[in-house]
Copies of this chain bind each other. A is one copy, B any other.
């Protein structure tokens, strides 16, 4: 039986780790192909991308659609449950940006602008 101290722990299990929150965040702007994600998520490796997507899928936040064609095409999108995290993810993002501006000195940090999906 899983034990948590509060709901916060649960959420952390779902979007914690190095990549899950970020990948989900990118999927909020619409479905993306694997290669596309690989391209727009900064520095993620193939292995971590797939692993991350599997975990998000298992948690029910992301769904995977496979097209049987050559070359292969797979598309990931956020589910309704995933979308329900959107406002929170946005707040976390805003808070962080605001925090960075207040706390870090100029030139001490940089927040990459998300590349637009094609």
A85 touching B95 by the CB < 8 A rule?
Answer: yes
In the bound complex, what is the Cα–Cα distance between A95 and B104 (angstroms)?
A: 30
A95 touching B91 by the CB < 8 A rule?
Answer: no
In the assembly, how many copies of this chain are there?
A: 2
Residue among B11, B97, B103 making CB contact with A92, cutoff 8 Å: B11
B60 touching A96 by the CB < 8 A rule?
Answer: no
Q: Which of A48-56, A70-78, A109-117 contacts B (4 or more CB under 8 A)?
A: A109-117
A97 touching B1 by the CB < 8 A rule?
Answer: no
Contacts of A100 in B (CB 8 A): 4, 7, 10
A5 beta carbon closer than 8 Å to chain B: yes
A7 touching B109 by the CB < 8 A rule?
Answer: no
